Amino acid sequence: MIQFQYVKPSKSKAAIDTVAKDQSAVFIAGGTNLVDLMKRGVMNPEKLVDINKLPLRKIERENGNVRIGALALNGAVAEDKLVLEKHPLLAQALNAGASAQLRNMATVGGNMMQRVRCPYFYDTAMPCNKREPGTGCGALEGYNRMHAIFGHSDKCIAVNPSDMNVALVALDAVVLVSGPKGDRKIPFAEFHRLPGDTPQIHTNLQQGELIMAVDVPENPYTKNVNYLKVRDRNSYAFALVSVAAALDLDGSTIKSARLAMGGVAHKPWRLNEAEQFLAGKPATEATFLQAAQIAMRGAKAFEHNKFKLTLGPNTIVQALKNASGVA
Amino acid sequence: MSSDKFPEKNLPEEENGPQHSDARRTFLKQSSLLTALALAPSAAIKAAELKFEEKVAAVFEQVKVTLGINGKKHKLSIEPRATLLDLLREQMHLTGTKKGCDYGQCGACTVHVDGQRVLSCLTLAAMVDGKEVTTIEGLANGDKLHPMQEAFIKHDGFQCGYCTPGQIMSAVACVREGHADSDEEIREYMSGNICRCGAYPNIVNAIKEVKNGGQRV
Ligand SMILES: Cc1cc2nc3c(=O)[nH]c(=O)nc-3n(C[C@H](O)[C@H](O)[C@H](O)COP(=O)(O)OP(=O)(O)OC[C@H]3O[C@@H](n4cnc5c(N)ncnc54)[C@H](O)[C@@H]3O)c2cc1C
Ligand code: SF4
Ligand code: FES
Ligand code: FES
């Protein structure tokens, strides 16, 4: 790890100004992603702005939303009464991530911002367009078992590794951001990016912009929900494929649905067309199979991740079954 | 490095301990400053451009922290990049906390910060300013082992023992959090602690015994 300066401001304006005017400065929250990347020399910031003094830890009701502060810990959010009551899908997704120790450190803002887990990104001896633009994508022709099947480009095929993000995109969350030019709100689906020609640009957050909170709007998805994560071992591993499924049921008819996938794209992958298909249909396995087929349209796999073309739809069907209680 | 930098062999017996470690610490400090210079070329070059002395001092400044470790308050001056794990092991000589992977993947470095289990290898020491840290050394009550330590011994919850301090710190938290109600739940909430010897079934049994024994943990 290179040397760096460490500051811990107590006002968000000071934190924002410091990072806004210094390209080599970054915020640090839980540190579980940043410290790891700094130890490996993947990220080499010269100044760390510790935001833990800022009052951004609250979880509260706000205008029909559950507002979750950017510094709320993943573990605390997953066990919060209000979250469990209003957005159990989010709690399930958070509990599926990392380990109890990491969830006690990781924050909501940091989780949103966590970098890809592509092994070529982590290994500074390897080519990677995301770490070093123009060096090529090591994974494209390399070991790409964990990589994307949707929305990739020939510059980068990595996936967003977060579980929380999959639930938040399904629940139409909104990110509250404060920056050098003022405050703005970013719909969750527009927060993360596809790699395109600029995989080095990680999210749509600008230099110096600080995530203050995330709003999860009131919705009817309080009961029939399931976050299903398939991984190489039962716990403490990143998703191969994950599915966030939420249904509003009227008897056995689906009034409306929310569906998103993780482990398949550079951003949490919302499945709008499959959701529209599900609305008004009976909650049966046949319906779920058709929805899964719609969801998988346009998927394109690489040498080592072809299994995701089968695992993907299977996981969708199973998550919808779990959510609806259809055996 | 010439060997005369390491004078411990010539030291009188009684001074061996502290002097040895002080010499080593000074050496580590000097060498890590050199490493820092080597690894931070842009910072150093920038510093050189803008008047060397002041800026290097700013870049390589130490952070003052006050923290409790196992019930004792310490005022320390540390490098911003020191992790809590390295602070505990290298500076405080509390080597019970183990360095397994150093990247958050194994749980060997688990300690409690303000009562919550965290990974000390991914925690910057500067960020625990004002907090209370408990390590495996702080678990026992004098000579009396903590019930979880007793249970690990009774149930053979280890073989080589390398993961054990982390397992025990995590296990105590697992019971305190109320996540030890079934084998399945224990396994899930202990999944952040890897054991290469595969002592898992015995670890689960030890935790169950403590949980069911109803002792204060
Ligand atoms: C071994 C291991 C296993 C893991 N497994 C999983 C898993 O299964 N599922 C999963 O989802 N995650 C997993 N994670 C990742 C973990 O969830 C993230 O590391 C964590 O959520 C990051 O949060 P943090 O607060 O520690 O972020 P930090 O490391 O502090 O920061 C990460 C990034 O976010 C930026 N940032 C932080 N807060 C803000 C803010 N408020 N505004 C703007 N920028 C900000 C920082 O500048 C930095 O670039 C795992 C991590 C490890 C080490
Ligand atoms: S997939 Fe993206 S992160 Fe991985 S090597 Fe290619 S460019 Fe780098
Ligand atoms: S040493 Fe910290 S998790 Fe492995
Ligand atoms: S006892 Fe050897 S690693 Fe767990």
Q: How far is B36 from chain A (nearest CA, A)?
A: 6
B17 touches ligand 4 (CB under 6 Å): no
Amino acid residing at A22:
D
Long-range CB pairs of B88-97 (<8 Å, 24+ gap) are B88/B120, B88/B133, B88/B135, B90/B25, B90/B28, B91/B25, B93/B21, B94/B69, B94/B70, B94/B135, B94/B137, B96/B135, B96/B136, B96/B137, B96/B165, B97/B135, B97/B136, B97/B165, B97/B166
DSSP class of residue B70 equals T
CB of A194 closer than 8 Å to CB of A151: yes
DSSP class of residue B91 equals I
Burial (CB < 10 A; 0-12, 13-18, 19+), residue B1, is: exposed
Q: What pLDDT is stored for residue B60 in this prediction?
A: 61
- The string of pLDDT tens digits covering residues A287-299 is 999 999 999 999 9
Distance CA A268, CA A162 (A): 8
Among A281-295, A296-310, B2-16, B183-197, where is mean pLDDT lowest? B2-16
Question: Which residue of B lies nearest to A234 if distances are taken between CA atoms?
Answer: B188
CB of B84 closer than 8 Å to CB of B67: no
Question: Hey, what are A327's tokens?
Answer: 């055996």
Q: What pLDDT is stored for residue A288 in this prediction?
A: 98
CB of A177 closer than 8 Å to CB of A183: yes
Confidence check: pLDDT of A22 > 90: yes
Distance CA B75, CA B66 (A): 4
Q: What pLDDT is stored for residue B28 in this prediction?
A: 46
A101 and B59: CB-CB below 8 Å? no
Instruction: Establish if B127 touches chain A: CB-CB under 8 angstroms.
Output: yes
B161 Cβ contact list (under 8 Å, min separation 6): none
Question: Which residue of A lies nearest to B108 if distances are taken between CA atoms?
Answer: A101
Q: Identify from A37, A101, A102, A124 which residue to disrupt to test chain B contact, counting B C-beta atoms within 10 A and taking the largest count.
A: A101
Please name each of the domains of chain A with its CATH number.
Answer: 5-52 (3.30.43.10), 224-324 (3.30.390.50)
Centroid of ligand 2 to alpha carbon of A150 (angstroms): 14
Amino acid residing at A185:
K
Nearest CA to ligand 3 atom 3: B104
Centroid of ligand 2 to alpha carbon of A318 (angstroms): 30
Which B residues, 130 through 169, put their C-beta within 8 Å of a C-beta on chain A?
none
Question: What's the mean pLDDT when you consider all of chain A?
Answer: 98
Distance CA A60, CA A163 (A): 22
Instruction: Establish if B170 touches chain A: CB-CB under 8 angstroms.
Output: yes
Distance CA B67, CA B39 (A): 29
B71 Cβ contact list (under 8 Å, min separation 6): B132, B138
Centroid of ligand 3 to alpha carbon of A3 (angstroms): 21
Please name each of the domains of chain B with its CATH number.
Answer: 2-19+62-138 (3.10.20.30), 23-60 (no CATH), 147-213 (1.10.150.120)
**Strand pairing report for B110-113 and A65-69:** unpaired
Distance CA A153, CA A150 (A): 9
Counting residues of chain B whose pLDDT is more than 90, the rounded percentage is 71
Centroid of ligand 2 to alpha carbon of A121 (angstroms): 6
The edge-to-edge listing of strands for the beta sheet with A47-50 is A5-7, A47-50, A25-28
CB of B125 closer than 8 Å to CB of B83: yes
Q: What pLDDT is stored for residue B17 in this prediction?
A: 35
Q: How many CB atoms lie within 10 A of CB B116?
A: 19
Confidence of residue B4 (pLDDT cuts 50, 70, 90): very low
Q: Which atom of ligand 1 is nearest to the CA of A28?
A: 30
- The string of pLDDT tens digits covering residues B57-114 is 445 689 999 999 999 999 999 999 999 999 999 999 999 999 999 999 999 999 999 9
- Phi and psi at residue A288, to the nearest 5°: -65, -40
Q: What pLDDT is stored for residue B214 in this prediction?
A: 86
Q: What pLDDT is stored for residue B215 in this prediction?
A: 85
B122 and A6: CB-CB below 8 Å? no
Extended beta strands in A180-273, E state: 182-187, 210-217, 224-230, 241-250, 253-262, 269-270
Q: How many CB pairs under 8 A join A and B?
A: 101
C-alpha torsion sign, points A302, A305, A307, A311: negative
Instruction: Establish if A112 touches chain B: CB-CB under 8 angstroms.
Output: no
Q: What pLDDT is stored for residue B24 in this prediction?
A: 47
B80 and A234: CB-CB below 8 Å? no
Confidence check: pLDDT of A32 > 60: yes
Q: Which residues pair with A107 in a beta bridge?
A: A73
CB of B208 closer than 8 Å to CB of B183: yes
Centroid of ligand 4 to alpha carbon of A49 (angstroms): 37
- The string of pLDDT tens digits covering residues A150-201 is 999 999 999 999 999 999 999 999 999 999 999 999 999 999 999 999 999 9
Q: What is the largest CA-CA distance in chain A?
A: 61
B17 touches ligand 1 (CB under 6 Å): no
B198 Cβ contact list (under 8 Å, min separation 6): B159
A50 and B40: CB-CB below 8 Å? no
Report the predicted TM-score, pTM, of the whole model to 2 decimal places.
Answer: 0.91
The closest ligand to the CA of B97 turns out to be 3
